[in-house]
Chain A
């Protein structure tokens, strides 16, 4: 974007406190790790402010490139003293950030891409808002990212060993992935999940779509009550549904069978399908079915040729939710299944309780990538079909 606002150098009385605050914030973490948070805050603020003074006042603006490299080098060396090789990497990143930040604040660049009439408060909020969004994102994603390197651990514990932190190849291994692919327990669990989830999804989609279409007809009596009952598995605490299903299925001989688990998971998936399909049906024009009937199509043909293509996005997202519900589900399968139906989440659950083995992390990493691939594929297919039918531009 072009520069919207002419920028000017800010007075040091503004720059130094701001960069000192940033330094103090970073100092919290370094200080806490070294034993004294308060000392960390004070030293962090002092160092960054002092460097800011040297860079902006003593060296001057035309030395920027050199000053920023000096920041990186200084922090990398400091990092080495605190944490060895990993400390150098972290230090260099910190150094790059503080170098950039000092000039960004000191030369007033932060205003360059904003419209000129914003008050200082509005500028502050503009950036605070972005920082908050970033923090939320980090908060959501970090726990998932953190386990990934641990799954390459050479030891059988959830621990970042000193070798791993030194980036020593000795500290890493693929043995937990090997374990997953060669261990009978895990392979059986994977095979069970792969057998159960699609069958449960097909049942959920079939029943859920039909129920949604039926319940969208204005002449059906007790529509709301029926809807509430069908949605209830989503609202009733899972453990209660699970205990109820256990006793019911035991009496009719479904407990501990493949069909029993599939049916139980289908029940859990149906509400998702009903909700997504009902939502797409709101935008569905009923005169289209009457037009089709007028041209001689019977109701089944009308459903598959006219209605189904139009509500497809709702059906697909409902199917995705139903699939993930079954694939992720651990409570109901613990009750309704027996050892012969042990699914992946069940195996992970017992694995966590009985032996904290990083194989669980390897499986988690694989599942994360499968989920991402699945969602991406479905989204791409959906966009493609919409584009082909001219429903969306581009």
Chain B
């Protein structure tokens, strides 16, 4: 009897295996993104309409955090399994330099705006690299607990460094980028001089010395979900994270948290297509990108998450939140009320200095 069971089990495995292979051959594409609410917004705004239109099945892989390393490994192994990858601009520039992402000509491969403006003009300054098609503008900024800051809520980036007025823990990202700039701004360096100062040895020492003043009160985060959790716990008084995460904490979860938009740092997130795809897969990936980055689609994404569309022509189409029914425009980082004092992530500077300053920052952290 046991023999029969065993035979039956082996037979089942043998039958199941080819079925699994067959599924892999179907008309599928793998799109890599960040997961969470962000992936959900892409699913609703891009994937679902695209699947309906073309019949292609989209598999969502939540691996953007390690996209650079994984694409290098895939390239080395000669087996690229991703079709379209969502990465931040700085990662896209690295991948482009290493030849891991293909160059995309905006005027040839992207849809023009409804009024006929070419894609290149419509995206404008946002096209920071040859391989990178921007999708959203997001910002790294601060949120604070309204019930833990007393009667005068913080409205200045330097309140983060003011332990007397706002005692308690704050959460900052466990990396040099953004923190160094904020530290210099609050150490009296003028906004336009920040990167000049940060390029010098003394400037870096100065920034770390400023961070030293609050080091004992900092909880360092590495995932975007950390600060929302810490704020909800009341574990920190204020903390930096992506503005869309804070929107979700405030509007969707109704936590006693408010935004501190001062000196928010703008960054871009968008698509790349890996090199080494077969011609059919590459054509499909380009077709997907043309669909997903047209004016209406980019505006649609803002119904689900508070990130600003990267096309100028999408901004007037931004409407209301799909479930909450509130106007999304005032929650965008690019809204004039929120963008009174902003900082654009300097790609060239960080491309040159990243390794050096990051090493110093990590050494300082370990001290």
Residues on A close to B: CB < 8 A?
A: 155-159, 185, 195, 199, 202-203, 206, 246-247, 250-251, 253, 255-259, 262, 304, 308, 338-340, 342, 350-356
Contacts and interface: CB of A to CB of B under 8 A. Distances in A.
Interface string B7-44: 00110010011001101100010101011110000000
B209 interface: no
Contacts of B23: 258, 340
Contacts, number: 101
A203 B10 CA distance: 9
B278 to A, nearest CB: 14
A156 B78 contact: no
Contacts of B30: 338-340
Contacts of B32: 339
22 contacts: A155-B253, A157-B253, A158-B229, A199-B13, A203-B13, A206-B6, A206-B10, A247-B76, A250-B79, A258-B16, A258-B21, A308-B2, A339-B60, A339-B62, A340-B59, A350-B63, A353-B35, A353-B65, A353-B225, A354-B225, A355-B35, A355-B36
B226 interface: yes
A46 B364 CA distance: 46
B225 A256 contact: no
Given A157-B233, A338-B61, A356 B228 contact: yes
Given A339-B59, A354-B224, A356-B225, A202 B77 contact: no
Q: Which 3 pairs, one residue from A and one from B, show the smallest C-beta to C-beta distance? A: A258-B20, A339-B61, A250-B77
Interface string B70-83: 00011011110100
What does DSSP make chain B's interface, helix, strand, loop or mixed? helix
Contacts of A195: 16
B223 interface: yes
A258 B16 CA distance: 10
Contacts of A356: 223, 225-226, 228-229
B9 A202 contact: yes
A253 B60 CA distance: 21
A159 B229 CA distance: 8
A259 B21 contact: yes
A257 B17 CA distance: 10
A contacts with B: majority SS: helix
A256 B82 CA distance: 11
A208 to B, nearest CB: 14
B3 interface: yes
Contacts of B2: 304, 308
Contacts of A258: 16-17, 20-21, 23-24
B104 interface: no
B60 A155 contact: no
Nearest to A185: B60
B318 to A, nearest CB: 24
A93 B10 CA distance: 56
Contacts of A354: 34-36, 62, 65, 223-225
Interface of B: 2-3, 6, 9-10, 13, 16-17, 20-21, 23-24, 28, 30, 32, 34-37, 59-63, 65, 73-74, 76-79, 81, 223-226, 228-229, 232-233, 253
A199 B15 CA distance: 11
A157 B233 CA distance: 8
A259 B24 CA distance: 11
B77 A355 contact: no
B77 A251 contact: yes
Given A155-B232, A247-B76, A199 B16 contact: yes
A157 B65 contact: no
Contacts of A253: 79
A355 B225 contact: yes
A338 B77 contact: no
Nearest to A257: B24
A338 B60 CA distance: 10
B78 A251 contact: yes
Nearest to B28: A340
Given A202-B9, A202-B10, A354-B34, A338 B81 contact: yes
Given A259-B20, A353-B223, A356-B228, 9 more contacts: A199-B13, A250-B77, A250-B79, A253-B79, A256-B81, A342-B61, A354-B65, A355-B36, A355-B37
Contacts of B65: 353-354
A246 B229 CA distance: 34
Nearest to B245: A355
B228 A157 contact: yes
Contacts of B20: 257-259
B231 to A, nearest CB: 9
A386 to B, nearest CB: 16
Nearest to A195: B16
